[in-house]
């Protein structure tokens, strides 16, 4: 049988282990309850999937700009100009 001193000495360790396991269970439960973000349409004209980016890339390819600083600067200035230009009319 265990002596009283052994039980008293083990009590803080048992309490700490119990609290740790409880925290892990609560964390796992709340992590599983998270709902994923809604899958909606991406903003128009953003990133590399817009018509402006495709047009600038085609111009860079037509000018045979090699990958590097010159092409990067061309794409940057082209995209800046595309953002400031008015959208094309529906009949054009």
Number of compact structural domains in the chain? 1
Angle at Cα 10 formed by Cα 7 and Cα 15, nearest 5°? 115
Supply the pTM of this predicted model. Answer: 0.43
74 part of a folded domain: yes
Residue with the two structure tokens 């054009």:
92
73 part of a folded domain: yes
5 part of a folded domain: no
Range of the domain at 57: 51-84
pLDDT tens sequence across 9-20? 888 888 989 989
Are 12 and 18 contacting, i.e. CB atoms less than 8 angstroms apart?
no
Higher pLDDT pick, 4 / 79: 79
The predicted structure's pLDDT at residue 30: 74
The predicted structure's pLDDT at residue 43: 55
Helix axes 69-84, 51-62, angle to 10 degrees: 140
pLDDT tens sequence across 33-89? 667 667 666 555 455 668 888 889 999 999 999 989 999 999 999 988 888 877 666
33 part of a folded domain: no
């Amino acid at each position: 049988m265990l002596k009283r001193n052994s039980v008293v000495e083990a009590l803080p360790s048992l309490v700490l282990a119990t609290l740790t396991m409880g925290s892990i269970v609560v964390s796992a439960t709340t992590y599983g309850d998270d709902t994923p973000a809604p899958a909606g349409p991406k903003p128009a004209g953003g990133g590399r999937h817009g018509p402006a980016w495709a047009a600038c890339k085609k111009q860079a390819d037509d000018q045979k700009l090699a990958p590097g600083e010159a092409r990067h600067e061309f794409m940057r200035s082209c995209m800046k100009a595309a953002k400031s230009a008015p959208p094309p009319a529906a009949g054009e």
